[in-house]
Structure 1
Amino acid sequence: MEAEAAIFVSVVAFSWLVFAWEALLYRRQRRVHLSTLTVPPELVGSSLTQETLLKARSYQLDKGAFGSVSNLYSQIESTLILLLGGIPYLWSFTGDLVRRLGYSADYEVSRSCLFLLLASLFSAATSLPWSLYGNFVVEERHGFNKQTLGFFLKDQLKKLVVMQMIVLPISSLLLHIIQRGGPLFFLYAWAFTLLVTLLLITVYADYIAPLFDRFTPLPDGPLRREIESMAASIAFPLTKIYVVEGSKRSSHSNAYFYGFYKNKRIVLFDTLLAKGVEPQGEGEELQGEEPKGKGEEPKGEEPQGKGEESLGKEPQGEVPQGKGEEPQGKGEEPKEKKDAKLGCSNEEVLAVLGHELGHWKLGHTTKNLVISQVNSLLCFSLFAALIGRPELFAAFGFHDEQPTLIGLIIIFQFVFSPYNELLSVVLTVLSRRFEFAADAFAASLGRATALRSALVKLSSDNLGLPVADWLYSAWRYSHPPLLERLRALGDARKDD
């Protein structure tokens, strides 16, 4: 009993320790934002005006404060679920439910899928008010949200359905493999997850993303020809260039590339492009619904961590899981003026694409994929060593049974939490190194000046502040802050 109590207390205490650390980091970041009242000397005369800087300051303060409140709620919610036995209660409930449906509660895989479905519905319900406030108050106030309430709710429902259609079959097969794989089940489970990862990379952009966004080929013209020429100059196997209607859900701008081996595609958000170079309309489309509004979340709609790279991103982690703050209210400008975006010229788009092609040329996407799979194999190996420990299950209220799904949750989410935090920091450091290297590659193509200009414009259009607390930045930003990138590019201007 003492071992069980120690495990439980350690898990809860560590989660609050991480929360306290994140809160401390945010306080440091907020002090920097509050003290930033003028354009940094390095950016005087750039596209970042004093007016835009003050808007960015207001946006970041709003977003950060709301993120702090929403994170506190999430922390309290997860702690109460553990303290009140929410996980064993839901597992017991699914057993009663499957029996009422005429099935045996001993059929663990079906019961586990029901557990995942109900947990997802609970999570969707509790996060919906925060998403609504984040989009229709914080993002709306600062001119980013482009969705109607009906469109948002329809999109959230569609995402929930699509996610369950993917997660439940995969989870079911994984549980079968673990239960019937014998002593080497961890190798089979790892191989299965690797195949699933590669499959999702292959089908995501062609079959899943178009369910939410409309992709239109970039029309023939100077920009398209220049992109194709630059890709050919470094032997990048480009097959298609799409523009996605990101403006239908948000005025944030971004871009990414995806695809395996000899079949690479580039996707540009229409909000990235300066007026006059958007697609003119007809031709082949990847038909999908008009785009929705992590980041998302902050939750970015483009795939992350799947062998794809997004371009021109602002530093990640501005908010502890991104939501926003209380209204500013007064003195707002008319929406038309507030929503005006600079966009990037053709040369600037090419410079940002040069950065992204640098990720490919330098093997960053392949290295990230290898790292993720080595980590996955390590975690499955440790899981195999720990799954037979009854005290782990008992610590979380499972004294009479040891369901495989619950073991995955306990070990991967709770027991591995210190390791996951450490790994996150290491990957953040690695990501920043990759970003600097990709910037240097773009500079080697003679595009340093255009990249500097593009980075400033993207920061301005997305209301990003060019300054950050050094510790917050080192811990949270997978992409270096704007000023750090500009300083690193400074020596490269001679290459233009």
Structure 2
Amino acid sequence: MALSGELWADLSAERRIFCSVLLFSWTVYLWEAFLAHRQRRVYRTTTHVPQELGQIMDSETFEKSRLYQLDKSTFSFWSGLYSEVEGTMILLCGGIPFLWKLSGQISGHAGFGQEYEIVQSLVFLLLATLFSALTGLPWSLYNTFVIEEKHGFNQQTLGFFFKDAIKKFVVTQCILLPVTSLLLYIIKIGGDYFFIYAWLFTLVVSLVLVTIYADYIAPLFDKFIPLPEGELKQQIETMAKSIDFPLTKVYVVEGSKRSSHSNAYFYGFFKNKRIVLFDTLLEDYSSLNKEQTEGEDGENEETKSKTKNKKQGCKNEEVLAVLGHELGHWKLGHTVKNIIISQVLSFCLTVLSRRFEFQADAFAKELGKAKDLYSALIKLNKDNLGFPVSDWIFSMWHYSHPPLLERLQALKDAKQE
């Protein structure tokens, strides 16, 4: 121990920081790997439907869910190990200084000298994100076309995948580079209080991106169409009005072009709120429940045609129950609270988020939607092959949403007869 202390004392400040970064990085990785190992053990050993789930989940669905989550967990282990080793090798081999020097050479050839450090930083960022995208591409391909394909979720063709990946990279750079240049300029002129100005700037940018994402960014990748006039739209508007939710529009997004996973969310500030429903959430609108026919622009060439043996999605009453839960987040102020707390610690946010999920469920219960939310949660868990059994430490650390069993138990006593 004394020798180790002497060796540490002999290290320069730079080497101490370097070693500390590596030690911290591997400590976090090993902790995450330990938690994932505990959860994989749950997937491997829990081969029968728990008694308390016997009435709501059949053995076939349970087994499909178990195998899907086991494959995802195994993939996450190997991809995580690769990422950690790659990061370590970049640090040990001087990858970051090399990339910075290369960025200086490129910006110099473009006519920018060393005084243009912001330009050099942007070139560095561009090269770093390009490297990350290329090294992550094989993992993304395997996840989409092996794991998601194997379990029936992938709806993309290879051509659609690459076109989408290129589009995402370009759009990301169009946002990232200007924002980064402004942030670096603020740091450069900010003086002793630069960190306050930088924090305020990043907060404002986050709020702006949240505001414009669904209107200007998301439509670049997916088609958003207004929910057609009808019973469901009328019921959504009535429920929103009953709690003074300032709803302006309801959209359906073609999530089925990419995956059969389902979701719903709302966005917007002040008096301009919109609700977005994935078509895979809606039993009556999901294209996966219908025979695939060629669209006006031949979209069937970009997405796969798959025949389902089961009806996917939720009935209107269950969709309303899910929205009742989401609107509960708004009514109870969870959105603003999450933005504030996200500036502190991620673990605290996870703990509080779980509490918010129970509160939002309780809000939907007060709207008289307990029975429908109960059945909707079961359907969504089944459609997404969610595994209802979790290691308690893994769940506490990772799951921002409480496990299915806990949510169902909280709703069980108040289900409508």
Corresponding residue number in structure 2 for 1:361: 331
Q: Distance in 1 between matches of 2:369 and 2:124?
A: 52
Q: Does 1:84 align with 2:93?
A: yes
Q: Distance in 2 between matches of 1:172 and 1:222?
A: 49
Q: Distance in 2 between matches of 1:369 and 1:20?
A: 29
Task: Give the letter aligned to residue 108 of structure 2.
Answer: R
Q: Distance in 2 between matches of 1:73 and 1:25?
A: 18
Map Cα deviations across residues 73-111 of structure 1 (whole Å, 9 max, x no partner).
000000111111111111111111222222202210101
Q: Distance in 1 between matches of 2:253 and 2:207?
A: 23
2:258 aligned to 246, 249, 267, which one? Answer: 249
More displaced stretch, 260-269 vs 16-25: 16-25
Q: Does 1:38 align with 2:8?
A: no
Task: Give the letter aligned to residue 234 of structure 1.
Answer: I
Identity %: 63
Q: Distance in 2 between matches of 1:91 and 1:276?
A: 50
Corresponding residue number in structure 1 for 2:31: 21
Map Cα deviations across residues 182-217 of structure 1 (whole Å, 9 max, x no partner).
222222222222221222122111111000010011
Q: Distance in 1 between matches of 2:410 and 2:39?
A: 22
Corresponding residue number in structure 1 for 2:340: 370
Q: Secondary structure at the match of 1:236?
A: coil
Q: Distance in 1 between matches of 2:210 and 2:39?
A: 35
Q: Secondary structure at the match of 1:450?
A: helix
2:169 aligned to 160, 164, 189, which one? Answer: 160
Task: Give the letter aligned to residue 493 of structure 1.
Answer: K
Q: Does 1:220 align with 2:229?
A: yes
Q: Does 1:343 align with 2:353?
A: no
Q: Secondary structure at the match of 2:276?
A: strand
Deviation at 1:335, TM superposition (A): 5.8
Corresponding residue number in structure 1 for 2:208: 199
Contact 1:341 1:461 in 2 (8 A): no
Map of 1:169-184 to 2, 5 A cutoff?
169-184=178-193
Change (3 A) 1:463 1:277: closer
Contact 1:96 1:105 in 2 (8 A): no
Deviation at 1:276, TM superposition (A): 5.7
Corresponding residue number in structure 1 for 2:3: none
2:20 aligned to 3, 7, 10, which one? Answer: 10
Deviation at 1:45, TM superposition (A): 3.0
Q: Distance in 1 between matches of 2:22 and 2:257?
A: 41
Deviation at 1:174, TM superposition (A): 0.8
Deviation at 1:139, TM superposition (A): 0.3
Q: Does 1:121 align with 2:92?
A: no
Q: Does 1:482 align with 2:394?
A: no
Contact 1:467 1:481 in 2 (8 A): yes
Deviation at 1:277, TM superposition (A): 7.7
Corresponding residue number in structure 1 for 2:379: 457
Task: Give the letter aligned to residue 448 of structure 1.
Answer: A
Aligned residues: 397
Q: Distance in 1 between matches of 2:182 and 2:143?
A: 36
Map of 1:211-360 to 2, 5 A cutoff?
211-275=220-284, 336-337=307-308, 340-360=310-330
Deviation at 1:4, TM superposition (A): 2.3
Map Cα deviations across residues 194-253 of structure 1 (whole Å, 9 max, x no partner).
221222122111111000010011111111111100000000000000000000110001
Contact 1:217 1:241 in 2 (8 A): yes
Map Cα deviations across residues 147-171 of structure 1 (whole Å, 9 max, x no partner).
0101100100000000000000000
Corresponding residue number in structure 2 for 1:312: none
Contact 1:351 1:450 in 2 (8 A): yes
Q: Secondary structure at the match of 1:268?
A: strand
2:104 aligned to 84, 89, 95, which one? Answer: 95
Q: Does 1:145 align with 2:154?
A: yes
Q: Secondary structure at the match of 2:307?
A: helix
Task: Give the letter aligned to residue 80 of structure 1.
Answer: M
Map Cα deviations across residues 281-316 of structure 1 (whole Å, 9 max, x no partner).
xxxxxx9x99x99xxxxxxxxxxxxxxxxxxxxxxx
Contact 1:239 1:264 in 2 (8 A): yes
Structure 2 segments unaligned to the other structure (5+ residues): 1-10, 291-296
Contact 1:252 1:461 in 2 (8 A): yes
Q: Distance in 2 between matches of 1:68 and 1:190?
A: 34
TM-score (norm 1): 0.77
Structure 1 segments unaligned to the other structure (5+ residues): 281-286, 294-333, 376-422
Contact 1:98 1:104 in 2 (8 A): yes
Contact 1:213 1:245 in 2 (8 A): yes
Contact 2:286 2:312 in 1 (8 A): no
Contact 1:440 1:492 in 2 (8 A): no
2:357 aligned to 416, 419, 435, which one? Answer: 435
Q: Secondary structure at the match of 1:336?
A: coil
TM-score (norm 2): 0.91
2:77 aligned to 64, 68, 71, which one? Answer: 68
Contact 1:359 1:434 in 2 (8 A): yes
More helix by share: 2
Report which structure shows greater RCO (CA 8 Å, sep ≥6).
1
Task: Give the letter aligned to residue 406 of structure 2.
Answer: E
Map Cα deviations across residues 107-165 of structure 1 (whole Å, 9 max, x no partner).
10101000000001000000000000000000001100000101100100000000000
